[in-house]
Amino acid sequence: MAKDPKLGKLTVYLYIPNIIGYIRVLMNVVAFALCFSNKKLFSVLYFLSFVCDGIDGWCARKFNQVSTFGAVLDMVTDRISTACLLVILSQQYRPGLVFLSLLALDIASHWLQMYSTFLLGKASHKDVKDSSSWLFKLYYGNRMFMAFCCVACEVLYIILFLIAEPHSESVIDVLLHAAKQSFLLSALVLSVLFGWAIKQAVNVIQMKTAADVCVLYDINKKQKP
């Protein structure tokens, strides 16, 4: 007996990792609604949403509920939440173009990577075994290393949001001032800066590699008889 397509669709929507994804979206909505009135609550909700990013992936593998919809929901939630925070930071620090440039790099690199994955017929954008970059392969090949870089990036942005003053100046000046007041904060910032820098380097490599795939696809397409 053939399965009802509507029932199958509903089943995918109700996968455990996808339900976690909906919760992530809700937490982010509440977090950004309260971001200026309650910075601490925002930071907690935002970080919990980010942690759930790892939990939903674990659940997808644990319960064999991996889905294309879940993967897209996961990435879209990541990109939008990070983008919103970077936009807020661009309004609190000068020059704001620094954060807008980071936003553009993040979206462009991931969009190109997803599209190049589609062109190559790969099942996942994390399949980079054929890449010539050791850093790129290390990032996507080692789950713990990738998690560290992603967490470091988000933690850095949260710290910058928390220590921002109503009329904050440059990012460097604010960080140096905060570091002088707390040794623990300075140690934390230094550690997350390393992971943040790695992630930005990977974004650049990812964007260039994916762009090359798109160009080669066009060249091969024109050469076919």
Rounded to whole angstroms, the Cα distance separating 152 from 77 reads: 18
Give me the chain's average pLDDT, please. Answer: 89
Q: Please tell me the predicted confidence (pLDDT) of residue 125.
A: 77
- Domains annotated on the chain, with CATH: 5-223 (1.20.120)
* Mean pLDDT across 172-182: 81
Of the pLDDT bands very low, low, confident and very high (cuts 50, 70, 90), residue 223 is confident
Rounded to two decimals, what is the model's pTM?
A: 0.88
Q: Is residue 218's pLDDT more than 60?
A: yes
Q: Please tell me the predicted confidence (pLDDT) of residue 2.
A: 43
Neighbour tally for 116: CB within 10 Å = 21
Q: Summarize pLDDT for 51-64 with one digit per residue, the tens.
A: 998 899 899 989 99
Q: Based on the residue annotation, tell me whether 78 is a catalytic residue of this protein.
A: yes
Q: Summarize pLDDT for 182-217 with one digit per residue, the tens.
A: 888 888 988 999 999 999 999 999 999 999 999 999
* Mean pLDDT across 44-49: 96
What percent of the chain has a predicted confidence (pLDDT) above 90? 59
Q: Summarize pLDDT for 55-102 with one digit per residue, the tens.
A: 998 999 899 998 889 988 999 999 999 999 999 999 989 888 999 999
Q: How many residues does the structure list for the chain?
A: 225
Q: Please tell me the predicted confidence (pLDDT) of residue 126.
A: 80
Q: Please tell me the predicted confidence (pLDDT) of residue 182.
A: 83
Angle at 20 (CA atoms; ends 103, 57), nearest 5 degrees:
75
Q: Is residue 46's pLDDT more than 60?
A: yes
- Name the more confident of 173 and 3: 173
Q: Which of 4, 78, 106, 212 is catalytic?
A: 78
